[in-house]
């Protein structure tokens, strides 16, 4: 559903024309609806992305920008990292405070990466890498822009077709707001939210092969994969 088709739908439902609400304003309304859907969940499956980067000797911090740029450029860049691994192990995530205690700044230790933390859009590896090593990244990319400034003939391509009518219905709600018909605005806003819940359940359920565990978890991936006690490991262990 292209953006001009959404505008036409809004005007036909609300029974208005471009003299009542111009194209630029309707595009803003549609952009609001698009953002409502994008940021209602952190992990929409169509934003999943994978890439790799190579560590450098003595370099501990790697920005999201640099990770997303090479060698496989991720369109729109990375928004968030979900997991890191090497050829041998899955790196364990540490909170920055805990990592700073275990790996103080004046520590001279280096070796293969076993842990990582995230702060200010940057990944820090522990211990400090001693050479080149490939890190495999799974994460979520940034959304494409849609709404104000979007040209005719462009659809909200990030989302499957069933989501497009939701964006248009949000625009209908905002158009009724602008026309001071608050009852109809509330009705279409409720429709938008109920259909969003429906589509969220459809696209964010657990994969069929993945078993569900209730009221139980491993404290770390390291414990799940090793018989050793759950403490920080030196690179030679």
Three-class secondary structure of residue 175 per DSSP = helix
Q: What is the pLDDT of residues 82-109, one digit of tens each?
A: 999 999 999 999 988 888 888 887 776 7
d(CA 149, CA 232): 50
What is the pLDDT at residue 227? 47
Q: What is the pLDDT of residues 34-64, one digit of tens each?
A: 999 999 998 899 999 999 999 999 999 999 9
Sign of the alpha-carbon torsion through 206, 207, 208, 209: negative
Stretch 70-82: mean pLDDT = 86
Stretch 202-210: mean pLDDT = 75
The number of beta carbons lying within 10 Å of the beta carbon of residue 6 is: 27
d(CA 178, CA 5): 20
CB 63 within 8 A of CB 118: no
Q: In the predicted model, is pLDDT for residue 220 greater than 80?
A: no
User: Domain locations in the chain?
Assistant: 3-42+159-203, 46-142
What is the reported pTM? 0.80
What is the pLDDT at residue 110? 87
d(CA 169, CA 115): 45
């Amino acid at each position: 559903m292209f953006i001009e088709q959404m505008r036409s739908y809004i005007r036909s439902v609300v029974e208005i024309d471009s003299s009542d609400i111009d194209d630029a304003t309707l595009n803003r309304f549609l952009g609001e609806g698009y953002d409502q859907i994008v940021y209602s969940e952190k992990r929409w499956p169509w934003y999943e992305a994978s890439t790799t980067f190579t560590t450098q000797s003595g370099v501990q911090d790697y920005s999201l920008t640099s990770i997303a740029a090479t060698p496989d450029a991720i369109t729109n860049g990375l928004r968030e990292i979900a997991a890191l691994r090497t050829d041998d192990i899955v790196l364990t995530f540490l909170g920055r405070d805990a990592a700073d205690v275990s790996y103080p700044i004046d520590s001279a230790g280096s070796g293969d990466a076993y842990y990582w933390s995230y702060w200010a859009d940057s990944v820090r590896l522990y211990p400090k890498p001693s050479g080149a090593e490939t890190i495999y990244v799974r994460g979520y990319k940034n959304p494409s822009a849609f709404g104000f400034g979007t040209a005719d003939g462009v659809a909200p391509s990030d989302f499957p077709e069933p989501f497009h009518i939701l964006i248009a219905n949000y625009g209908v709600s905002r158009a009724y707001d602008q026309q001071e018909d608050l009852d109809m605005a509330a009705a279409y806003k409720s429709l938008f939210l109920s259909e969003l819940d429906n589509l969220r359940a459809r696209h964010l359920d657990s994969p069929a092969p993945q078993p569900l565990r209730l009221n139980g978890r491993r404290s770390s991936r390291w414990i799940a994969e090793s018989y050793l006690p759950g403490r920080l490991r030196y690179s030679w262990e």
